[in-house]
Structure 1
Amino acid sequence: MMEDRIRQQWEALGTDDPYWAVLSDPTKQHGGWDKDEFFRTGGKEIDLILSKSASLGVNLGSELALDYGCGVGRLSRALATRFQRVVGVDISDTMLTEAKAANTRFSNVQFVRNDGKALPDIANRSVDFIYSNIVLQHSPKEVQQSLIKEFCRVLRPGGVLVFQTPSSQNLTTIKGALHFLLGNRILNIGRTLKYGKTRVMEMHTLPKKDVLKTLNGEGMQVLNVERYDTAGRAFISYIYYVTTT
C-alpha cells in the first residue's frame, strides 16, 4: 500500500538523518545541522505565522496547538512557549523518538503517532491553532484531502488553521517538468541511486482549486491564500489561512 511505503520512507529518514529530513538543506546532510540553529528556525517561523494570523483579524485562543507532521519537534517547541498545550503528530516512530529526546524540558508538549490519514486522538472542535508546513506534500492527493477535513473537524470555533501544500509542478524548472512527466514511482529509483534508499522523499501535489473546494465543503472561512514555495522551485505552493464560519 502507498501509505505503508510513505511510512517506511519516513522511518528510514528518521533513523538515518532526522534533522536534515525535516529541513533538507543540502549543506546540512549527514548530521550537519547544529541543533540550536535548527530549533531557532522553528521559533522564527512560528513568530511569522502567528503575526500574519493576527493581522487577519483573528482573536486566537492559547489553550491548545496542533503541529501536524511534527518530525523532531522543531515547531512544537516554538509553539510550546506560546500555547498552554501542544500536540505534535507524526507518522514516524523514529522521528517521534528523537522529538521526545530533544524536547524533554517542554513538559506541555505531547508527541503522538498517527496513521498519516486521520486524527483519531484529537477531539472535535478542541484545537485553537493548527499548523502544517512541508508535510502534506509527502502524501497522495486523497490523503491530503482527508487530513484537511480532519483539521477542519478538530478546529475550535474561532480557531486558525494554517497549512502549506504544492498546487502543481513548476514546469519552467527541470525538476518540476521531470516530476510531472515521470511521477514518484520512477523518480524514486533515481532518488535511491542519488541519495540512498534511506533518503527517499516522495512529493505530491494538491491543486489549489481542490483545496478550496474541500475547505468550502467543510464550511470553513478562508482568510488568506498566498504563494509559499517552501517545497522548492520545482513546485508552485500555497499557504492557506483558515478559520471556522
Structure 2
Amino acid sequence: MSSLLGSASDLSEGNVADQPVAVIDVGSNSGRMIVVRLVAGSHLETLFEAKAHLRLASDVAATGNLGPSAIDRTIACVEDFLAQARAAGSARTIAVATAAVRDASNGDVLTERIRSVTGLNVEIIDGAREARFGFLGAVHSVPVESGVLLDLGGGSIEVSRFRDRAMSRAWTLPLGALLMADRFFTEDPPTRGERRRLLEHVTSQIEKAQLPTLGRHDRRDSAGPRSATETKLIPSRGCTATSCLCRGSRTC
C-alpha cells in the first residue's frame, strides 16, 4: 500500500501527476477527501468528494486530548475514504491533519493508530503550512490577483494576505467556529451576552496577532465549512479583520 501513499510536501511542491490523486484532510470539525486529476498540465479536475463529521475540536476544547470515541470514528472515516478513493481510481493518497489534532496532547496517538490500521501516514501540519495550502487552493480557484483570504475551520482560522497571486504574509489564530461555539455558547440562539463575550475574545486575539486593516481595494476571500472548494468574494471598504471575522457568514 505504501506505493500508493504520498506526503503533504507533494501538495506544496505541486507534485500532482495526471493520474488521480486523493487528498484527505482530518479537520477539527470534519474529515474531507477530494480525488483530483491534473488536466492539460495545469487544471485540476475534481473526480470525487466526500465528507464526514468528526467534531474533534469539541474533545480537545473539553479535555485537551482526543478521546477513544473520537479516535475510533476518525479511523473509521479514513478507512471509508481510502475505500472510496480506490473506487474512484486514485493512484495515491496524501493525508494531513490540522488544528484539533496538532493541539491535542495525544495527536500522535491518532496518527499512529491510523498508520497501523490503514498504512496511511497522516502528517500533522502546522498553522503556516495550513495557511499556505488553503491559499494555494483558493488562488487557483478564483480570478483574484490581490487581497486577503480567510480560511475558517472548526479549530482555527488562517488569514493570508496576497498580492499578484503570491502570498506575502499569513496568520493562524485559534478562533475556529466549532471551538468558539463550544467555548462561548450554551444557548441556541446565543444570547447577547454570549455574543458580546465572543466578540471581546476575538477582538483580543486579533489585536494580539496584529492583523492588518484591509485596504479599500483589497478583496476578502473566505473559504469555510460550507464547502471545501467554495470561495465568496466581497469587496472590502476599509473593514478591520475583527469586523470581518465577527460578522460571520452574513458578510464573509
Say which one has the larger Rg: 2
Q: TM (normalized to structure 1)?
A: 0.31
The structure carrying a bigger helix percent of its residues is: 1
Q: TM (normalized to structure 2)?
A: 0.30
